[in-house]
Structure 1
Amino acid sequence: MKGGQSLSALRARRLGVVAPGAAFVFLRSDCGVCRSEGFDARAQVEIHHKGRSVTATLFHVISDILESDEAGLSEAAWQQLGLEQGDVVTVTHAPPLASFSIVRRRVFGGRIDDEGAREVIADVVAQQYSDIHLAAFLTDCSATPLDEPEMIALTRAMVETGDRLHWNQAPIVDKHCVGGLPGNRTTPIIVSIVAAFGLTMPKTSSRGITSPAGTADVMETLAPVNLSLTAMRRVVEREGGCIVWGGSVHLAPSDDILIRVSRALDFDAQGPMVASVLSKKIAAGSTHVVIDIPVGPSVKVRSEKAAASLATSLASVAQAFGVRTRIIKTDGRQPVGRGVGPALEARDVVAVLRGEPDAPQDLRDRAVTLAGAVLELAGAVEAGKGTKTAREVLDDGRAWKKFLRIAEAQGGLREPPVAPHTRAVTASTDGLVAAIDCRKLARVAKLAGAPGAPAAGAEIHKRIGDPVTMGEPLLTLHAETPGELDYAIAFLLGEPDIFMLTTP
């Protein structure tokens, strides 16, 4: 015994349990370590191996799946410890989580200052917070919204606990959408336009967790996105822009952890959302950022009042870090483009960049508007001329050529996969499309397999205001397996209001 903690050795066993971002350990309830240390199920414990440690949630096993001298580990725990089959680990009680007292104090009316935010976020990044702790923190931030000093403190802490990029040139531009709108894949188009015009746009993007696709998922069907900081810098210095997965470059790493839990909770507290958006931009070295806020009844931001409040907070916190912003409220009543899912959205992006005649016009228009705003904010063109300039760069092929060069610099362009199974969903009556439920549509695409199955998702055939005749396709589901296709169809049959039709 040392400091009251057991140093009993256990053989590590890889169980292949996948739980992104969460570490788990499984021990037989009758093993010597459990009995001597009094480890309860769902306790937080520390696993140690050759100078490395990880905090994990403990689960008891009462079957013979494990021997009494074995510790079964999830993939996250296995990778963080750098284990090989048969390695020896020790399991001890996790030390008290001192920073959680800051969260408790806030629940009862306190506030988080700079030092408190640093302590909390440092422990989050160190994987000391279980999902229960994270859920409590995010729920408190929703029930009692963060004030502006707290948002600034949280943003600063999130930036300081990861890597930061510094560039020799200026300005460094970026664009962000607060999300919730299926198919709104403007980023690859905007990066191509802006970089082709001569500005620098090092774009880091997220993967879909509870959404059917993130920009990184979409871009990955076209080119590699798992680049190191060194590789990312090389691409940007060569081409002026990139589209890479933010998780591979360790910028504001607490953001991905908080996003994973907030999406599971199915709510987005304004304070953490502001810190989430801006910490990644500040860490990437951005000086000018355009932020897209879709507003609609079934997206994250559902009213003009909520959009105005979010816009004010984003602008104020960004200003505290010397970042200039332009915030644009856009139509969030229906999906953008035709595809919902990585490969389907990638085809929309390519169609717009190549200027194909049947490319989705709404995606093209939105991308051009936002790219124009980036050009104006950075002072690259006069006010009022951004959209026209962005459209010219797209129309004359410069954006497509730049995209090809960026893709090549990131590892080479590839063809998006095609799903082997499809099924059309048709209208049960005549009418006009009056509304589309974006949240339910996103869920259908996920049930079909997106984003884990890159070719899966939904292809939209009708938009608000379009006439529909009975038997006409409203959407087509794409899946990589028949079971996933049937699963999505079963959900659709129970949710007939995804497309709301009215009598013309």
Structure 2
Amino acid sequence: MTLDGHKRMRLVPAGIDTYQQPVVYMHRDCDICRSEGFTALTRILVSSGGRELVATLNVVTGDWLGLDVAALSDEAWAALQPEPDAWAVFSHPDPPASTQALRAKVFGQRLSDRDLLGLMRDTVDDRLSDIELAAFVTACAGERLDHEETIGLTRAMVAVGQRIDWGGGAVLDKHCVGGLPGNRTTPIVVAIVAAAGHRIPKTSSRAITSPAGTADTMEVMAPVVLDLATMRQVVEREGGCIVWGGNVRLSPADDILIRIERPLDFDSDGQLVASVLSKKIAAGSSHVLIDMPVGATAKVRSPQSADSLEARLAITARMLGLTAAVLRTDGRQPVGHGIGPALEARDVLQVLRGDAQAPADLRERSLHLAGALLDIAPGAVPGQGRARAEELLDSGEALRKFMAICQAQGGFSEPVMAAHTQPVLAMRSGRLWDVDNRRLARIAKLAGAPRAVAAGIDCRFRLGTQVRAGEPLFHVHAQSRGELQYALEYAAEHPDIFSIEDR
């Protein structure tokens, strides 16, 4: 037996998804737990086959795990990549180098660029536990990151991930701050801008707390899990792409921080700016348009909040050599008819195809954004972008480009609709004055979205329209009767999602 043989255990997959957090499972009575003093939530260094991983310990008290076996969560297994019947050595990791900077921020001190770089390195190396990361996110929440720290955090996020170099010339991009269900303008904007002859490599996110992310919607129509080499081939061939950013890991520190931030539901301008701009810089973008919906139940809830966020975006982008423009949009209500991957994909295709049933608001917003992005491209004549965008959409050039992008990414598929649908009826007559975007999105999620891609909501009413009692306000789509009932029960419990009054 080797000197550290007493620290060795055989590895097996636990078959447990711990969502980006590496976890190791050991029985509480195993020799390593007893001798090393390992307890639940201890951070453990796992070494196997020349690879190392810092993981969080979960202690098993039942009899499903042997005393000589350690089980790895899906995330830990993928990171360590052990051989079949592999063994690993377990020990205490060195304390994270960034602990001092983390404590300083918790107690209200400013962090230097070096401090922030150290924190982001330890974040992507899994040296910091979720509890420590939650402390960092909390310490930065509100206005506790100043402009210089925001710039430093953005630089640090870029530095610890991959970065694409597209060579010379402009690279266009767009991003939506979020908080608005069904706002699926990205595929349309990418198609228009690429059809205009510009490069627009779009990396998009999957849903975490929403009924659909852009990547979820695009995946209904074409593959989005592409590596960097394949992504580059698609862009070189067609000028644009729409791929899942999580697979190319352009800003992995941001992906980890988002996992911590979402359950906490903290609003931090500094972290939001660093999140958005780090991914744009890492993707090689030179000119970026930011769509900022403003509304009471959107992410940005007031004009004052929009002013603050826009100023921070502008300063950070300028300091990092990025040309960025912010376009404020109406965030009071959903955009398009569908909320959920397949329903949103249907809306996108209807707009691109010029279908008479296409949602007018999705078409108008997409043209508005595409025109604004074309206006900031090098050599553009300001004010002419909208007309050019409309020409490309109405002529069918945008549709042809979108289909070509889909084929380059692996092939196009038509969206499939859900097996079960049921309307939710208006309880009274009157004019629609308000809608709670968050609760409406909650219904779509209870119906199964985004996991069940055909699930969600189809809603045709818009603010200011007249509603009659007994008329369908929206239809719930679900792939199982159980999920349909969950969604309908929640809708019945919250009849005030739509505010219908005679005024």
- TM tier relative to shorter chain: over 0.9
Provide the residue aligned with 1:426 in structure 2: 425
Distance of 2:465 and 2:71 partners within structure 1: 55
Alignment of 1:476-491 (within 5 A): 476-491=475-490
Provide the residue aligned with 1:91 in structure 2: 90
Distance of 2:6 and 2:139 partners within structure 1: 37
Provide the residue aligned with 2:105 in structure 1: 106
Is the Cα–Cα contact under 8 Å of residues 49 and 90 in structure 1 kept in the other structure?
Answer: yes
Assess, with a 3 A threshold, how the Cα gap between structure 1 residues 429 and 287 changes in structure 2: closer, same or farther: same
Is the Cα–Cα contact under 8 Å of residues 142 and 269 in structure 2 kept in the other structure?
Answer: no
Provide the residue aligned with 1:154 in structure 2: 153
Distance of 2:201 and 2:70 partners within structure 1: 42
Distance of 1:163 and 1:451 partners within structure 2: 28
Does residue 37 (structure 1) correspond to residue 65 (structure 2)? The answer is no
SS at match of 1:329: strand
Provide the residue aligned with 2:397 in structure 1: 398
Assess, with a 3 A threshold, how the Cα gap between structure 1 residues 268 and 144 changes in structure 2: closer, same or farther: closer
What's the offset of the Cα at 1:47? 1.8
Provide the residue aligned with 1:286 in structure 2: 285
Deviations 1:20-57 (A, max 9, x none): 11111111111111111111111111222111122222
Distance of 2:142 and 2:237 partners within structure 1: 46
Provide the residue aligned with 1:261 in structure 2: 260
Report the AA paired with residue 430 of structure 1.
Answer: S
Provide the residue aligned with 1:454 in structure 2: 453
Provide the residue aligned with 2:302 in structure 1: 303
Assess, with a 3 A threshold, how the Cα gap between structure 1 residues 2 and 299 changes in structure 2: closer, same or farther: farther
What's the offset of the Cα at 1:493? 2.1
Moved more, 176-185 or 106-115: 106-115
Is the Cα–Cα contact under 8 Å of residues 6 and 92 in structure 1 kept in the other structure?
Answer: no
Q: Please, what TM-score do these two structures have when normalized by structure 1?
A: 0.97
Distance of 1:421 and 1:380 partners within structure 2: 51
Distance of 1:448 and 1:9 partners within structure 2: 46
After the TM superposition, list the runs of 4 or more consecutive aligned residues in structure 1 that deviate by more than 4 angstroms. none
Q: Percent identity of the aligned residues?
A: 51
SS at match of 2:404: helix
Aligned residues between the structures: 503
Moved more, 200-209 or 492-501: 492-501
Distance of 1:123 and 1:2 partners within structure 2: 30
Q: Structure 1: give runs of 5+ residues left out of the alignment.
A: none
Distance of 1:130 and 1:299 partners within structure 2: 30
Distance of 2:248 and 2:370 partners within structure 1: 25
Report the AA paired with residue 73 of structure 1.
Answer: L
Assess, with a 3 A threshold, how the Cα gap between structure 1 residues 316 and 92 changes in structure 2: closer, same or farther: same
SS at match of 2:217: helix
Alignment of 1:369-380 (within 5 A): 369-380=368-379
- RMSD over equivalenced CA pairs, Å: 1.6
Does residue 252 (structure 1) correspond to residue 263 (structure 2)? The answer is no
Alignment of 1:81-230 (within 5 A): 81-83=80-82, 86-230=85-229
Is the Cα–Cα contact under 8 Å of residues 174 and 203 in structure 1 kept in the other structure?
Answer: yes
What's the offset of the Cα at 1:2? 10
What's the offset of the Cα at 1:108? 1.4
Assess, with a 3 A threshold, how the Cα gap between structure 1 residues 480 and 160 changes in structure 2: closer, same or farther: same
Is the Cα–Cα contact under 8 Å of residues 6 and 37 in structure 1 kept in the other structure?
Answer: no
Report the AA paired with residue 423 of structure 2.
Answer: A
Assess, with a 3 A threshold, how the Cα gap between structure 1 residues 355 and 56 changes in structure 2: closer, same or farther: same
What's the offset of the Cα at 1:84? 5.1
Deviations 1:257-311 (A, max 9, x none): 1112111112231111000000011111111111011000001100000001000
What's the offset of the Cα at 1:90? 2.5
Provide the residue aligned with 2:341 in structure 1: 342
Provide the residue aligned with 1:238 in structure 2: 237
Provide the residue aligned with 1:18 in structure 2: 17
Is the Cα–Cα contact under 8 Å of residues 224 and 243 in structure 2 kept in the other structure?
Answer: yes
Does residue 471 (structure 1) correspond to residue 470 (structure 2)? The answer is yes
Is the Cα–Cα contact under 8 Å of residues 424 and 477 in structure 1 kept in the other structure?
Answer: yes
SS at match of 1:409: helix
What's the offset of the Cα at 1:396? 0.7
Report the AA paired with residue 289 of structure 1.
Answer: V
Deviations 1:130-166 (A, max 9, x none): 2212211111111452111101110001111111111
Is the Cα–Cα contact under 8 Å of residues 53 and 80 in structure 2 kept in the other structure?
Answer: yes
Distance of 1:11 and 1:81 partners within structure 2: 13
Deviations 1:239-267 (A, max 9, x none): 11111111111211111111121111122
Does residue 66 (structure 1) correspond to residue 65 (structure 2)? The answer is yes
SS at match of 1:419: coil
What's the offset of the Cα at 1:7? 5.1
Q: Please, what TM-score do these two structures have when normalized by structure 2?
A: 0.97
Assess, with a 3 A threshold, how the Cα gap between structure 1 residues 160 and 347 changes in structure 2: closer, same or farther: same
What's the offset of the Cα at 1:428? 1.3
Provide the residue aligned with 1:317 in structure 2: 316
SS at match of 2:496: coil
Report the AA paired with residue 357 of structure 2.
Answer: D
